[in-house]
Amino acid sequence: MKILVLNSGSSSLKYQLFEMPNEQPICSGLVDRIGLEQSTITHKNFKSGKEEKFLIEAPIPNHESGLLQVTELLKDPEKGSISDNSEIEAIGHRVVHGGEQFASTTLITEEVKAKIKELFALAPLHNPPNYLGITVAERVFPKAKQVAVFDTAFHQTMPPLAYRFALPKSMYTELGIRAYGFHGTSHQYVSKKAISYLNNPKAKIITIHLGNGCSMTAIDSGKSIDTSMGLGPMAGLIMGTRAGDIDPSIIFHLINERGYTAQEVNDILNKKSGLLGLSGFSDMRDVKNAIKEGNQDAALAYELYAYRIQKYLGAYIAVLKGLDAIVFTAGIGENDPDMREAVCRGMEFFGINLDPVLNSQKSQSIREVNFKDSQVKIFVIPTNEELEIGKQAYELVRK
């Protein structure tokens, strides 16, 4: 069975085509820097044990344009892997926010789409492109079963101590206001890898997902018990354009004293803050280039980014009451050794001892970057949300 997986991020679109159940990737790709200058599509084919790589530079103003270009690539005589759309039997979609309505993978119906749309306000950077991916895929692949895998599902194991806010009870019982958590598919995938590597099903692990969106999760015995994002994917760590944790009084000050509308404040916190607000750049690669040129705003942004991660590390060690491993994953977590060093710097008190030599090396598989005598293992584990989504989609549609 051929299953296509679509993973629409806030500024990117990852895709993989799998032959299931053997989990064999047929092709994969990344549509990067959507809506920014120098947008690209990196497309890879896997044929006869060999990898063919193609780089396409093209303006990609939005997610719909990106997805339509991907479907053309899949059928391209030279670069593609299928001759007809009907070869794809199912499409697994990453959907960021499932609220309390969706605690597991589900077949997409009109009712499911309506509920995903209702949650736009809680994940304004993600659920709209997720929804758009579904609607475009339904048009392009009308015979395929569409499956939603929700980022929030993995965090449904959190206890009330972690997901409840100190607000009137009715706001939870009647309005569903609570912490849901996100990047669950990624946190679940890399924590499984770490548990297997450690050969310890009861391991206490902190997973650190650093991409355009960023989050951390405290995992005990394979279950999420706390996570940095909340009602929507804006709380917690500093991100590409999202502010992360702020004093809520800032919002009321801007509205009541400075004349901003609620929508303007929402746009600022979601789209104009984070690395972009601090430095003028939303992409960490651009931030680091600016630092090399002596940009002090970029240097401060980089330091603040690492500082916030350190604060959550301390908090989650307390929540877990111990720690066996930390995991760096996603674009920045996997590819920026300087950020890993900045996060681990001064954390020896907690048994976290980074080996700078191992940290500087590159690998496409799980690796340790700690000194041998480090009490806590420090892993770099490439995330593969697409494979996890493909596996869950296959398990659902094959029944």
Hey, which residues are catalytic here? 151
**End-to-end CA distance of the chain, in Å?**
13
Q: Which residues have C-beta within 8 Å of that of residue 43, sequence separation ≥ 6?
A: 27, 28, 29, 53, 54, 55, 56, 73, 79
- Per residue in 125-162, is it b (16+ CB within 10 Å) or e — as a string? bbbbbbbbbbebbeebbeebbbbbbbbbbbbbbbeeeb
Q: Is 322 annotated as a binding residue?
A: no
Q: Is 334 annotated as a binding residue?
A: yes
Task: Tell me how far apart the alpha carbons of residues 358 and 371 are, in angstroms, rounded to a whole number.
Answer: 8
Which residue, among 117, 26, 11, 100, has the nearest Cα to 63 in the 3D structure? 11
Q: Which residues have C-beta within 8 Å of that of residue 253, sequence separation ≥ 6?
A: none
Q: Is 138 annotated as a binding residue?
A: no
Q: Is 280 annotated as a binding residue?
A: no
The HSE-up count of residue 225 (CA atoms within 13 Å, CB side) is 17
The HSE-up count of residue 164 (CA atoms within 13 Å, CB side) is 11
The encoded tokens of residue 128 equal: 């709209």
Pairing of strands 377-380, 325-329: parallel
- Per residue in 74-104, is it b (16+ CB within 10 Å) or e — as a string? beeeebbbbeebebbbbbbbbbbbbbeebee
Q: Is 139 annotated as a binding residue?
A: no
Q: Which residue has the tokens 């990898």?
A: 51
Q: Is 385 annotated as a binding residue?
A: yes
Q: Is 85 annotated as a binding residue?
A: no
Q: Is 284 annotated as a binding residue?
A: yes
Which residue, among 180, 245, 238, 184, has the nearest Cα to 211 in the 3D structure? 238
Task: Tell me how far apart the alpha carbons of residues 20 and 45 are, in angstroms, rounded to a whole number.
Answer: 16
Q: Is 29 annotated as a binding residue?
A: no
Q: Is 293 annotated as a binding residue?
A: no
* DSSP state letter for 219: E
Q: Phi and psi of 112, rounded to 5°? A: -65, -45
Cα–Cα distances in angstroms (integers) from residue 18 to residues 28, 45, 359, 364, 382, in the given order: 9, 11, 31, 19, 18
Q: Is 324 annotated as a binding residue?
A: no
Q: Is 333 annotated as a binding residue?
A: yes
Q: Is 230 annotated as a binding residue?
A: no
- Neighbour-count burial of 365, counting CB atoms closer than 10 A to its CB (0-12 exposed, 13-18 middle, 19+ buried): exposed
Q: Is 7 annotated as a binding residue?
A: yes
Q: Is 244 annotated as a binding residue?
A: no
Task: Tell me how far apart the alpha carbons of residues 337 and 334 are, in angstroms, rounded to a whole number.
Answer: 8
Tell me the binding residues.
7, 14, 94, 209-213, 283-285, 331-335, 385
Tell me the binding residues for Mg(2+).
7, 385
Tell me the binding residues for ATP.
14, 209-213, 283-285, 331-335
Tell me the binding residues for substrate.
94
